[in-house]
Structure 1
Amino acid sequence: MPVQSADATSPLPWNWPERLPAAIEVREVGPRDGLQNIDATLTAADKVRLIRAVAAAGVRRIEAASFVSPRAVPQMADAEEVVRAVRDLPDVSIEALVPNGRGAERAIATGAVDRLVFVVAASSTFNERNVRMTTERSARELHRVAGLAGEAGTPLSVVVATAFGCPYAGDVPEETVLSLVSLAVREGADEVSLADTTGMATPASIAALVPVAGSAAGGRPVGLHLHDTRALGMANALTALTLGVTLFDASVAGMGGCPFAPPSARGNISTEDFVHLAHELGVATGLDLSRLVTAARLAEEITGRELPGQIMRAGPRLNAATRA
């Protein structure tokens, strides 16, 4: 039977091999997103070991902590101690998630944070569960955070959470996502990421939203923060690669999850698994896959649990490059 060609109206870029970027940037979020919903409290020393391990693999952007209320996320109570302990890492951007002005003040006061990452959910229902504010109020808080970042000379990223759907409210209007992307740019963010916070995205929804978000961002980079709840994380990442996305969040060993999401929500796409995919496609990452596997095994050691990353168990495909 001959292969059927794709419908010309399909949102999927079927000529994907011709559209892959030459190189991408991977931001490691394991020390923050990966650890925040683990019940056992980890020591600052163990968190620092993990950060240093991923930096040794060549990762140059690491989301090391979130500056949130310790009552809400006890695992992040030592955020100041952690970021100060890794400020000596050469050529590594230590980044911190902040949900409000108070968090931004704390992060800036450490003198060890190179970039603020502000998060706002497109679903107001989720935003209230996550940061105890409506989306509208978070949008106002962004103005305060942007002002603090500007005064400190600290770059600002904005993450639009639940961009592909909310587990509580269902579909999220595209116009809401795009309005938040536009707001982020107006407030001075130099990049915006769309977060599939609980793993509701599909290749089709990635293909539909990413291009229009890029237009709304007015030339600023639009990245992706993907979760693997429904086993579509890598398919979504591949689709994004074909659309020219060059900034991806990933978590070593596939750790991750939001404490305020349903228990069924799974972790981020695994850093080492995604890097393996990129290298197999000939897309450069600048990262050492074997050292990422070492970091993944360390993550299992310090968390005391089996984590979902696949490459640390199966290994790369025979003769696959470990660094690209």
Structure 2
Amino acid sequence: MNNKIKLVECPRDAMQGIHQFIDTKTKAAYLNLLLQTGFDTLDFGSFVSERAIPQLRDTREVLEQLDLSTRTKLLAIVANLRGVEEAIVHQAITYLGFPFSISETFQQRNTNSGIEQSLHTIDQLLEHCDRSGKTAVVYLSMGFGNPYGDEWNIEIVEQRAEQLITRGVKILSIADTTGISTPQKIKEILPGLISRFPATEIGVHLHSSPSTRLEKIAAAYESGCRRFDSALKGYGGCPMASDDLTGNLATEDLIGYLEEKGIDLHLNKEKWQEAILFSDSVFF
């Protein structure tokens, strides 16, 4: 198992559900502070329908204003082949993320396509990434259950994970889209996947209320997970899943937990504090 911690900061997830438009200059200034903090990856924007996520309609303009001199790699979310083709031309983007759901209901809600069609899109995504030198990140959303009554069990999670990895997915993030994971579920699912697929980077994208964040972080870490998605102050949630958004893991909680383990995350704490202060002008 690779013990290197990879922190994925997710301002895109944090901003996408905000109804009032955040101007492009403010977005870019915030993202630049996060870039200068030194996370492994910054989930900065998306190439999806402007009607679906109007907040991120300026992703291309934001990208032009980003400081690309830092060590942090950029990740953009795509939901169909058109998004893949739009994102792939940007040299600054290293990772293309695609949300693939165990729940047929949520796959339709999130990408306007079913599971089988989305598997075909993933095949196309992988082909484009191979040709362009980029890397696909697939999110196994509703990985801990769903509120729609669609069938869910650990065997289905494992089958879908194997299906994706067999196709060539090298980074798989198990996503708790509505915040219904528990430490018990995390410990039941992650160790088996991590041990079964040692060549695959398996991470978590957990949503959580403040009262359960630390126990979920601990459960994932103790299960062998070393890739964590989070967002400053726990902002965010998926607007395609629910009107009552469940926030992300708070990055400050994640940092605190890992540093208590004696792990040096190599972050610029001065820039991190600047980002925390600046966030008040973003998430108003």
Identical-pair percentage: 28
Distance 1:45 1:280, change over 3 A: same
C-alpha deviation, 1:105, in angstroms? 0.6
**Counterpart residue number, 1:29:** 10
C-alpha deviation, 1:228, in angstroms? 1.0
Paired residue for 1:243, among 199, 223, 231?
223
**Counterpart residue number, 1:11:** none
| Number of aligned positions between the proteins | 284
Distance 1:183 1:216, change over 3 A: farther
Structure 1 portions without partners, runs of 5+: 1-20, 305-324
Tell me, in whole angstroms, the C-alpha distance in 2 between the residues paired with 1:127 and 1:223: 20
**Counterpart residue number, 2:169:** 189
Tell me, in whole angstroms, the C-alpha distance in 1 between the residues paired with 2:104 and 2:195: 23
1:43 matched to 2:48? The reply is no
Distance 1:291 1:85, change over 3 A: closer
**Residues 1-324 of structure 1 aligned to structure 2 (within 5 Å):** 23-30=4-11, 32-86=12-66, 88-169=68-149, 172-229=152-209, 231-304=211-284
Tell me, in whole angstroms, the C-alpha distance in 1 between the residues paired with 2:151 and 2:39: 34
Tell me, in whole angstroms, the C-alpha distance in 1 between the residues paired with 2:210 and 2:9: 21
Structure 2 portions without partners, runs of 5+: none
Worse overlay, 219-228 or 256-265: 256-265
Tell me, in whole angstroms, the C-alpha distance in 1 between the residues paired with 2:5 and 2:62: 27
Partner-residue secondary structure (3-state), 1:189: coil
Tell me, in whole angstroms, the C-alpha distance in 2 between the residues paired with 1:169 and 1:288: 44
C-alpha deviation, 1:87, in angstroms? 5.7
Partner-residue secondary structure (3-state), 1:303: coil
**Contact 2:35–2:70 at 8 Å: present in 1 too?**
no
**Contact 1:163–1:195 at 8 Å: present in 2 too?**
yes
**Contact 1:272–1:293 at 8 Å: present in 2 too?**
no
Partner-residue secondary structure (3-state), 2:274: helix
**Contact 2:236–2:245 at 8 Å: present in 1 too?**
no
| 1:263-289 Cα distance to aligned partner (Å, 9 max, x none) | 333110111221012112223322244
Tell me, in whole angstroms, the C-alpha distance in 1 between the residues paired with 2:147 and 2:266: 35
Tell me, in whole angstroms, the C-alpha distance in 1 between the residues paired with 2:150 and 2:164: 23
Q: Which has the higher strand share?
A: 2
Return the TM-score normalized by structure 1: 0.82
Tell me, in whole angstroms, the C-alpha distance in 1 between the residues paired with 2:269 and 2:237: 23
1:26 partner amino acid = L
C-alpha deviation, 1:261, in angstroms? 1.7
Partner-residue secondary structure (3-state), 2:267: coil
Tell me, in whole angstroms, the C-alpha distance in 1 between the residues paired with 2:207 and 2:229: 10
Distance 1:167 1:225, change over 3 A: same
**Contact 2:105–2:150 at 8 Å: present in 1 too?**
no
Aligned CA-pair RMSD? 2.0
